[in-house]
Amino acid sequence: MRIAVPNKGRLHEPTIDLLERAGLHLENGADRKLYAETVDPEVTVLFARAADIPEYVADGAAEMGITGYDQVREAAVDDVAELLDLAFGRCRLVLAAPEDGMIDSVDDLEGGTVATEFPTITREFFDERGVEPDVVEVTGATELTPHVEMADAIVDITSTGTTLAVNRLAIVEEVLSSSVRLFAREEVTGEPKVEEVRTALSSVVAADGKRYLMMNVPEERLEDVRDVIPGLGGPTVMDIANGDDGTVAVHAVVDERDVFETITEVKDRGASGILVTEIERLVE
C-alpha cells in the first residue's frame, strides 16, 4: 500500500507528524528521499509535489494520497474518492480585486481578465455563474498582476487575508474552501489496509483538542457531577478497587476548551483526585 504525501512546503511537516502520531512511523526519516518505508511492512510513503499527488493516485502510482482539497479539484482527476478531512491546512480560494477598482461583483468581470494559479477551479466557478472572463494562468506573484495591468482580478489562496490586504486587494467572493484530505483510488476503497490507514488517521484527528478527565466522586454526588461533564456520550462510572467509602471513579472525554470550567464545577460538587491527560488517539 503506497501513500503519496507532500514532499515539501507548509503541508509536509504536519502530514509527517500526523502519520507518526497514527503509528505509521517512517524508517530513517523523510528528508531528501523519494520514498520511505514505515513500521508497517505493507505501507510505503511516497514523496511528491502536493499538486501532483492527485495524479499519482488516479494513475495508480499510489493507492492513497494526502493533499489539499484545492489540489484535487484543480487536477480534475477521475476515480479518486475522498476518505477523510484531516482538519489542517485550512484555507480559502477567493476572488479578489483592487480595493479602489471597479470590480465589486462577479458579474463585473464579464469580458475582463482574471489571473490565477488555479485555472480549472476558476473556469468552473465562472461557468457556474454564467460569466465569461479571460482566465490567465500564472505561476507566482498572483497578487501583483492587477497592479501591473495584467488582470482585472485574481483567484488565489488565502488563510487570513493579510497578504491580500497588504497588496491592497479586497475579497469579492469565496470560490472554494479547502483543507488537507485523505484520498484513495476508488477501486481500492473499502480494502482492509485502506480502512486500517483511514481509521488510524481518523483516531488522531478525533483526539485533537480533547482531554481525558478522571476523578473520584462520592456516590451521593454522582448525579450532580454528571450534570456538568460535557463528555462524549456521558461519563464512565466505575467502582474503585478495595473502595468501601462510597466513592466511585468517573472518567470522561471533554473538549480542551471546557477543561478549566469543568474542573471548577466538578470540584464544587464534591469531586477529588482530579486528573487531566492528553489523548493520543480516539476511535469513535
Nearest CA among 102, 101, 66 for reference residue 200: 66
Look up the pTM and report it.
0.86
Q: Dump pLDDT digits (tens) for 146-189.
A: 999 899 999 999 988 888 999 999 999 999 999 999 999 999 99
The string over 28-61, giving b where at least 16 C-beta atoms fall within 10 Å of a residue's C-beta and e elsewhere, is eebeeeeebebeeeebbbbbbebbbbbbbbbeeb
Domains of the chain as residue ranges with CATH: 2-88+179-207 (3.40.190.10), 91-178 (3.40.190.10), 210-278 (3.30.70.120)
**In tens digits, what is the pLDDT along the chain, a chain of 284 residues?**
999 999 988 999 999 999 999 999 998 766 657 889 999 999 999 999 999 999 999 999 999 999 999 999 999 998 999 999 999 999 999 999 999 889 999 999 999 999 999 999 999 999 999 999 999 999 888 999 999 989 999 999 998 888 899 999 999 999 999 999 999 999 999 999 999 999 999 999 999 999 999 999 998 998 898 888 866 667 888 887 665 678 899 999 999 999 999 999 999 999 999 999 999 998 87
Q: Dump pLDDT digits (tens) for 256-279.
A: 999 999 999 999 999 999 999 999
Nearest CA among 125, 180, 132, 128 for reference residue 155: 125
* CA 48 – CA 32 distance, rounded (Å): 11
Phi, psi for residue 116 in degrees, rounded to 5: -165, 160
* Collapsed DSSP state (helix, strand, coil) of residue 6: strand
* CA 165 – CA 161 distance, rounded (Å): 6
Contacts of 130 (CB under 8 A, 6+ apart): none
The string over 144-166, giving b where at least 16 C-beta atoms fall within 10 Å of a residue's C-beta and e elsewhere, is ebbeeeebbbbbbbbeeeeebee
| 164: its cell numbers | 491580500
Number of neighbours of residue 201 by Cβ within 10 angstroms: 24
